[in-house]
């Protein structure tokens, strides 16, 4: 989401970076490193990995179209999956809970404290990014380079440095996401890595334009999944259910997009 | 005479073909240098090599005496080279003001509305919604607010109504009179030669004429043979 | 038919003559000579190759990222298993039915592609892959409980013979794809990836083209899935995980599965490489890593996969021998040959299209046309009648609504009011491609000739027959039929686009700045050709142009728009002297028009 908005490319591999960082965190924690330090190292690792991939993208694909770039991220995701299997194996890891597992019950729906913290954090981050993009010249330049990167470079906008910075930021955020969310999910690497599907779906719903809408969409999907658990007929489908809901919404939103480009 | 941009023995390949073959062009400050030539002669390719969009295989490019041949686009841009690409490359989703802000800090962008007052009433309009002529003005203005030493203009007349092009041409002259070095690539030879100082004619990747614009009227033998070759 | 013969027919049919046929023969013999274990792997290579080929259809040709090709394969496999349990059908029939069963599903996913594009579509298809696997997890593979495995047909039970069967099926599928490639729909696949508008403008339904790609892709993948069942007797769900779809996509991108040899290469990589790794003691998960990195590398070279890359180099070498520079024209034909020798294309017989019968009635009658974009009025009650046998000019400042007018007449933009009549019958309700077929053709201001096609293929896409091409290209002074459009510079592509718009017997062509980027004398030549169009092709012309030389040289009548309103209309010389036109558009009066 962040990447698409900023670098003109939607990233298939970003959740994999996040899962990578999260697993490094868990491994370190299991080896007895203090929790806080483990998180810090994990987030840094996700950041570094993502930045490195951003640098690859900036160096090798400076003037390519978004579809090709997306295919590149698919390639990255596959490679990283393979690397992760080597390093971490496919054994599910238990994630240490970040927050005491306290739940509040509000009108029949139980809300976990961790979920609420995640919500708060996501909103704050989204707002901060939105503010940054709207209020600063860098924000304008980033928006400019996402539509025409060659032209932006000709105007002296350091597109490559920005790209790397954005990927790094996205990698860090993506690492924090599974650390926050892991206790609610089975936590083997594949499922974390494929967190990309609901995450991307949320981004799609926000149509890559409104950061606020994306946060709301992400939460809506989470809630829907949680509710589906209680409904036996659909519970096996719970991971795919939101997808169909999203698809319907998405198709409805895009109903006007008859042609591939304006004019 | 100081030479803001000097292109020497430049060779540029593109998908396997040598498009530009050993070209020398000097663009002095304070002058409009006109580059003419038929389609496919390599004019756009030459400009792209100068600004670093595509790499040159041999030869050199000097900006104000500094060799920039091995540098990236961003470095060249920061050294005072501004390349206005073909085809009105506005940032369509951004407002007019944001288009200018992407190029220069806020205090600098007022200049845009001085040279093109007609843009003033569209400050907050998305650039994609402007008419073609206004977009072309915006693209030129966006380059100018950077106060470049060298300005490369690639066929700014393309697809414009005569009245709009007639509006742009004196602005280009004025920029040169204020000290900028302008390299103007044009298809409309007559109008370009009318405001130019020196002219070059490119044909099949090589310079076949260089000299004062006055010598090269549209009827001249050189131009005709270049276009018909 | 022996596989070798079949292979040779298939390669020649896909214009792969450069591919050494003997190599195919040797390879086949080599596989047959191999021990069963390796033959088995090569069977896997063929089935995987089929799935890669399906990626090559959907992504390689139409550039739609589909990450669910293994789900289609799963459908094929499942149906074959189910048929095997319930009905006693010959194996090949089961494979075929399995393939066909995936077609509706492919069409369904194809429907999504009508609104979702690029990465949105990729996510949707990946989601579909995830949903499929959830469903399959709950429904065991037919026959897996009671051991009713799918039996190979008796004649093909040995590995060698089953390999031959797979090779024949593979060849048949490739021939089918190759056949479609040479049809209009195949050209259109390469066209939609570049521009959907341009595809519709030549009379092809974008929806059908995309659905065809997805359906064919699903069919091919499902046939691959069916063969997989035949090979193994039973298949595990693990073969159809979304990750496999991702992986085959990367491998297909790596090898360039758009081409037959690329697809075979993808199959070999996917099936043989892991086994080699196992033997060499390299961990298996290195393979996907290499695929990912390899795909990235190949993409960074900007080619259609490894194979496409080799092809590009070969093409460049061949081209560099023949033509030294960027898109120089063909042997020049300075004047339109035989402009007095009457129409090169006889007017069509039906309905007496000749101008005599319908003298006076406009070919195209635009009445009260109004278009609004939000609060902005782009066109305000514009009336234009285009008479048979004439070239009508449309000029005006940028943003006056000229392109909007063309968009509205051809159906890309919905008008708020007004009507468009083609030879007296309303075409307002028709979609774009039907208007194009009814006889309203256009070109685009941006130039939308399809770069992936040759000139000849592009003309075929536009609905022309090969015997028409030569005269047409000479008339429009275009590059020869075998020149690829991507090798022609932008300005010279426009005449090709104009030529294409003249095919399919249009009644009227709307040309949007065909002279943009041409030098003055080239524009003048183009103007003369456009002026000749009505007589030669029996169709009227609406010409939008800024270059006054062209307007004066080509037009019989002229309409001037400013801010969406008609400010003048009539004969060229009168209009260009109109003071309002001079003020709004020209700036200075044009000299010597009336003389």
**What is residue C209's three-state secondary structure?**
helix
pLDDT of residue C334: 38
CB nearest A137 (choices: B74, B92, B105): B105
Cβ atoms within 10 Å, residue C564:
23
Nearest to C131 among A61, A66, A243 (CB): A243
Report pLDDT for C2.
41
Q: Smallest Cα–Cα separation from C175: which of C54, C8, C14?
A: C14
Which residues of A are less than 8 Å from C124 in CB distance?
A: 247, 250
Cβ under 8 Å to C: B residues 44-103: 45
Closest CA relative to residue C504, chosen from C452, C476, C464: C464
Q: What is the DSSP letter of B95?
A: B
d(CA B172, CA B168): 6
> How distant, in Å, are the alpha carbons of A72, B17, B106, C23 from that of C303?
13, 17, 42, 24
Positive or negative torsion for Cα C472, C478, C484, C489: negative
Hey, where are the domains in chain C?
Answer: 32-316, 347-439+505-586
| Residue A247 forms contact with B (CB below 8 Å) | no
Beta strand A109-112 pairing with A103-106: antiparallel
Report the residue from C320, C546, C548 with minimal CB separation from B159.
C546
C positions 191-210 inside 8 Å of A (CB): 192, 195-197
- Ramachandran quadrant class, C594 (left: phi over 0; alpha: psi -120 to 50; beta: rest): alpha
Q: Residue A70: which of C122, C124, C127 has the nearest Cβ?
A: C122
Binned at pLDDT 50, 70 and 90, residue A117 comes out as low
**Closest Cβ–Cβ partner in C320, C376, C546 for B162:** C546
Contact with chain B for residue A262, Cβ under 8 A: yes
Which of B78, B94, B101 shows the shortest C-beta gap to A156? Answer: B78
Find the Cα–Cα–Cα–Cα dihedral A187, A191, A194, A196, rounded to 10°: -40
Q: Does the CB of A143 have a partner CB in chain B at under 8 Å?
A: yes
Q: How far is CA A130 from CA A5, A161, A218, B113, B203, in A?
A: 11, 20, 17, 29, 51
Neighbours of chain C (3+ CB pairs under 8 A): A, B
- The confidence score (pLDDT) of residue C173 equals 92
Regions of chain C with pLDDT less than 50: 1-18, 20, 322-358, 592-595
Collapsing DSSP to helix, strand or coil, C1 comes out as coil
Provide the shortest C-alpha distance from residue A224 to chain B (in Å): 34
Inspect the interface and report whether the beta carbons of A144 and B128 lie closer than 8 Å.
Answer: no
The sign of the CA dihedral C490, C493, C498, C502 is negative
- Cβ contact C325–B130 (<8 Å): no
Task: Please judge whether A144 and B91 are an interchain contact, meaning their C-beta atoms are less than 8 angstroms apart.
Answer: yes
Residue carrying the six token digits 């939000």: C374
| Phi (first) and psi of residue C561, to 5 degrees | -105, 145
Does B88 reach chain A within 8 Å, measured CB to CB? no
CA A226, CA A239: separation in Å to the nearest integer? Answer: 10
Q: According to the model, what pLDDT value does residue C84 have?
A: 85
Tell me, what's the pLDDT at A1? 36
Mutate to test the interface with C, among B11, B13, B17 (most CBs of C within 10 A): B17
Whether A114 shows a pLDDT value over 50: the answer reads yes
Q: Which of A77, A78, A248 to mutate to test the interface with C (most CBs of C within 10 A)?
A: A78
> What residue in A sits closest to B77 (Cα-Cα)?
A156
8 Å CB contact between C455 and C479: yes
Fold of C347-439+505-586: Rossmann fold (3.40.50)
Torsion angle in degrees (nearest 10) through CA of A225, A228, A234, A237: 10
DSSP string, A31-100: TT--HHHHHHHHHHHHHHHHHHHHHHHHHH-TT--HHHHHHHHHHHHHHHHHHHHHHH-S---PPPPSS-
Q: Which residues of A touch B85 (CB under 8 A)?
A: 150-151, 154
Cα–Cα distance, C262 to C347 (Å, whole number) = 45
Which pLDDT does position A17 carry in this prediction? 73
Residue among C335, C322, C577 nearest C474 (CA): C335
Q: Which chains touch A (3 or more CB pairs under 8 A)?
A: B, C
User: Where along chain A do its domains lie?
Assistant: 1-90+112-185, 195-255
> Would strands B32-36 and B198-203 be described as parallel, antiparallel, or unpaired?
parallel
Tell me whether residues A154 and B94 touch, CB distance under 8 A.
Answer: no
| Nearest-by-Cβ selection for B161 from C325, C376, C585 | C585
What is the pLDDT, as a whole number, of residue B226? 64
Q: For the sheet with C417-422, list strands across it.
A: C376-386, C364-373, C417-422, C425-426
Listed residue (C230, C219, C239, C216) closest to C83, CA to CA? C230
| C395 interfaces chain A, CB cutoff of 8 Å | no
Task: Report CB contact under 8 Å: C327, B40.
Answer: yes
Q: Name the residue with tokens 């490489």.
A: C273
Contact of B105 with chain A, judged by CB distance below 8 Å, is answered with yes
- Specify the residue for token string 């018909």: B228
Strand ranges in chain B using DSSP code E only, listed in sequence order: 3-14, 17-28, 32-36, 58-63, 66-67, 81-84, 150-154, 181-185, 198-203, 206-212
Torsions phi, psi of B151, nearest 5? -120, 120
| Dihedral pair phi/psi, residue B7, rounded to 5° | -105, 125
Give this complex's ipTM.
Answer: 0.85
Are C198 and C450 within 8 A, CB to CB? yes
Residue A64, exposed/middle/buried by CB under 10 A (0-12, 13-18, 19+)?
middle
Query: What pLDDT, on a 0 to 100 scale, did the predictor assign at position C98?
Result: 92
Query: Which DSSP string do the residues of C14-74 spell out, in sequence order?
Result: TT-TTS-HHHHHHHHHHHHHS-HHHHHHHHHHHHHHHHHHHHIIIIIIT------HHHHHH
Farthest CA pair distance, chain A: 60
CB-CB under 8 Å, A144 with B98: yes
For residue C477, give both structure tokens: 């002074």
A119 at B interface, C-beta within 8 A: no
Cβ burial, residue A15 (10 Å; 0-12/13-18/19+) = buried
- Share in percent of chain B as helix, strand, coil (round to 5): 40, 30, 35
- Give the phi and the psi of residue C236 in degrees, each rounded to 5: -95, 150
E runs forming strands in C276-406: 364-373, 376-386, 391-395
CA C218 to CA C109: how far, in whole Å?
10
pLDDT tens by residue, A20-58 = 777 777 777 777 777 778 878 888 888 888 888 888 888
Nearest CA in chain A to B79: A156
Which chain C residues have any C-beta within 8 angstroms of a chain B C-beta?
Answer: 316-317, 319-320, 324-328, 376, 395-400, 445, 489, 491-492, 513, 516-522, 546, 548, 584-588
- Rounded CA-CA distance C458/C453 in Å is 6
Long-range contacts of C520-523 (CB under 8 A, 24+ apart): C520/B187, C520/B188, C520/B189, C520/B190, C520/B218, C520/C549, C521/B224, C521/B227, C521/B228, C522/B38, C522/B39, C522/B227, C522/C491, C523/C547, C523/C549, C523/C550
CA C292 vs CA A188, C27, C75, C145, C281: distances in Å: 21, 27, 26, 37, 20
CB-CB contact of C8 with C192 (8 Å): no
State how far residue B82 is from chain A, nearest Cα, in angstroms: 7
Which distant-in-sequence residues (6+ apart) come within 8 Å of B48 by Cβ? B12, B54, B83
| Domain C32-316 = CATH 1.10.3470 | yes
In chain A, what residues touch B93 (CB-CB under 8 Å)?
Answer: 143, 147
Bridge-based pairing of strands B3-14 and B17-28 is antiparallel
| pLDDT tens by residue, B161-210 | 778 888 889 999 999 999 999 999 987 777 788 889 999 988 888 898 88
Residue B63: phi and psi, rounded to 5, are: -110, 115
Q: Give SS3 for C144.
A: coil
Q: Which residue has the higher pLDDT, C300 or B109?
A: B109
- Mean of the per-residue pLDDT values of chain B: 86
pTM of the entire structure?
0.82
Chain C residues within 8 A of B189 when measuring between CB atoms: 519-520
B77: how many CB neighbours lie within 10 A of its CB?
A: 25
Quote the pLDDT of residue A6: 35
């Amino acid at each position: 989401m962040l990447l698409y908005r900023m670098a003109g490319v939607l990233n298939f591999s970003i959740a994999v970076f996040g899962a990578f960082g999260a697993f490094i965190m868990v491994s370190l924690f299991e080896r007895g490193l203090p929790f806080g330090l483990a998180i810090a190292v994990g987030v840094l690792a996700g950041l570094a990995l993502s930045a490195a991939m951003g640098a690859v993208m900036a160096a090798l694909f400076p003037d390519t179209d978004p579809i090709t770039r997306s295919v590149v991220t698919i390639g990255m995701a596959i490679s990283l999956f393979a690397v992760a299997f080597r390093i971490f194996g496919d054994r599910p890891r238990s994630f240490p809970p970040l927050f005491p597992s306290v739940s509040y019950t509000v009108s029949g729906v139980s809300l976990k404290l961790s979920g609420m913290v995640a919500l708060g954090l996501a909103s704050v981050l989204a707002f901060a990014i939105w503010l940054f993009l709207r209020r600063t010249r860098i924000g304008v330049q980033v928006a400019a380079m996402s539509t025409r990167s060659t032209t932006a470079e000709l105007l002296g906008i350091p597109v490559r440095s920005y790209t790397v910075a954005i990927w790094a930021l996205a990698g860090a955020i993506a690492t924090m996401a599974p650390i926050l969310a892991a206790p609610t999910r089975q936590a083997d690497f594949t499922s974390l890595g494929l967190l990309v599907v609901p995450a991307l779906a949320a981004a799609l719903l926000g149509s890559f334009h409104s950061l606020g809408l994306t946060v709301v969409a992400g939460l809506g999907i989470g809630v829907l999944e949680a509710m589906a658990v209680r409904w036996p007929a659909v519970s096996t489908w719970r991971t795919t259910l939101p997808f169909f809901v999203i698809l319907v919404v998405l198709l409805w939103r895009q109903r006007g997009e008859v042609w591939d480009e304006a004019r | 005479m100081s030479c803001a941009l000097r292109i020497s023995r430049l060779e540029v390949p593109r998908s396997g073909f040598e498009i530009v073959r050993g070209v020398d062009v000097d663009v002095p400050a304070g002058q409009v240098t006109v580059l003419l030539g038929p389609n496919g002669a390599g004019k756009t390719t030459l400009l792209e090599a100068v600004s670093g969009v595509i790499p040159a295989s041999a030869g050199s490019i000097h900006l104000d005496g500094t060799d920039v041949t091995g540098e990236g686009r961003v470095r060249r841009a920061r050294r005072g080279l501004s390349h206005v690409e073909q085809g009105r490359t506005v940032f369509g989703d951004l407002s007019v003001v944001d288009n200018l802000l992407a190029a220069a800090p806020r205090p600098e962008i007022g200049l845009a509305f001085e040279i093109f007052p007609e843009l003033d009433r569209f400050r907050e309009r998305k650039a994609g919604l402007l008419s073609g002529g206004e977009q072309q003005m915006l693209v030129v203005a966006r380059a100018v607010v950077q106060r470049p030493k060298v300005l490369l203009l690639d066929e700014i007349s393309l697809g414009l109504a005569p009245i709009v092009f007639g509006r742009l041409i004196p602005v280009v002259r004025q920029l040169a009179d204020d000290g900028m070095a302008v390299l103007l690539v044009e298809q409309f030879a007559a109008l370009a030669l009318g405001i130019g100082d020196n002219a070059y004619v490119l044909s099949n990747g090589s310079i076949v004429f260089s000299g004062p614009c006055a010598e090269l009227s549209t009827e001249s033998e050189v131009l005709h043979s270049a276009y018909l070759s | 038919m022996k596989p070798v013969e079949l292979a040779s027919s298939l390669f020649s049919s896909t214009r792969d003559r450069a591919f050494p046929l003997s190599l195919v023969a040797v390879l086949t013999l080599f596989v047959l000579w191999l021990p069963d274990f390796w033959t088995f792997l090569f069977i896997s290579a063929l089935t995987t190759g089929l799935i890669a080929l399906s990626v090559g259809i959907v992504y390689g040709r139409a550039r739609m990222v589909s990450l669910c090709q293994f789900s289609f394969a799963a459908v094929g496999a499942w149906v074959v298993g189910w048929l095997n349990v319930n009905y006693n059908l010959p194996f090949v029939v089961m494979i075929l039915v399995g393939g066909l069963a995936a077609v509706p599903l492919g069409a369904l996913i194809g429907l999504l592609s009508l609104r979702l594009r690029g990465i949105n579509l990729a996510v949707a298809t990946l989601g579909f892959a995830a949903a499929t696997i959830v469903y399959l997890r709950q429904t065991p593979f037919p026959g897996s409980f009671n051991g009713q495995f799918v039996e190979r047909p008796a004649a093909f039970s040995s590995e060698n013979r089953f390999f031959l069967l797979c090779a024949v099926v593979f060849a048949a599928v490739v021939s089918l794809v190759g056949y479609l490639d040479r049809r209009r729909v195949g050209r259109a696949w390469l066209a939609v990836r570049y521009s959907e508008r341009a595809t519709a403008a030549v009379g092809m339904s974008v929806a059908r083209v995309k659905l065809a790609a997805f359906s064919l892709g699903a069919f091919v993948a499902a046939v691959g899935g069916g063969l997989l069942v035949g090979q193994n007797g039973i298949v595990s769900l693990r073969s159809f995980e979304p990750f496999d779809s991702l992986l085959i996509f990367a491998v297909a991108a790596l090898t360039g599965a758009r081409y037959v040899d690329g697809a075979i290469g993808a199959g070999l990589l996917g099936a043989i490489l892991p086994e080699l790794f196992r033997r060499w003691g390299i961990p298996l998960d290195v393979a996907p890593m290499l695929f990912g990195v390899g795909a990235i590398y190949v993409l960074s070279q900007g080619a259609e996969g490894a194979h496409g890359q080799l092809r590009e180099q070969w093409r460049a070498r061949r081209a560099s021998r023949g033509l030294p520079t960027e898109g120089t024209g063909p042997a020049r034909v300075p004047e339109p040959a035989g402009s007095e020798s009457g129409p090169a294309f006889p007017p069509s017989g039906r309905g007496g299209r000749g101008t005599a019968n319908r003298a006076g009635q406009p070919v195209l009658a635009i009445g009260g046309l109004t278009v609004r974009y939000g609060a902005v009025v782009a066109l305000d009650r514009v009336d234009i009648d285009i008479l048979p046998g004439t070239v009508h000019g449309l000029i005006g400042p940028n943003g006056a609504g000229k392109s909007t007018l063309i968009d509205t007449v051809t159906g890309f933009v919905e008008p708020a009011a007004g009507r468009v009549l083609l030879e007296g019958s309303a075409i307002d309700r028709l979609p774009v491609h039907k208007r194009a077929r009814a006889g309203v053709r256009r070109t685009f201001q941006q130039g939308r000739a399809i770069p992936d096609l040759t000139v000849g293929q592009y003309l075929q896409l536009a609905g022309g027959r090969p015997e028409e091409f030569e005269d047409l290209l000479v008339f429009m002074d275009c590059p020869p039929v075998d020149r690829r459009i991507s090798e022609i510079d932008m300005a010279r592509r426009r005449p090709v686009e104009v030529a294409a718009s003249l095919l399919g017997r249009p009644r009227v062509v709307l040309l949007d700045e065909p002279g943009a980027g041409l030098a003055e004398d080239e524009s003048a030549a183009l103007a003369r050709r456009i002026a000749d169009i009505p007589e030669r092709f029996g169709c009227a012309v609406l010409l939008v142009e800024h270059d006054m030389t062209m307007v004066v040289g080509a037009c019989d009548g002229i309409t001037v728009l400013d801010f969406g309103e008609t400010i003048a209309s009539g004969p060229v010389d009168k209009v260009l002297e109109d003071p309002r036109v001079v003020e709004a558009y020209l700036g200075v009066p044009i000299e010597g028009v009336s003389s």
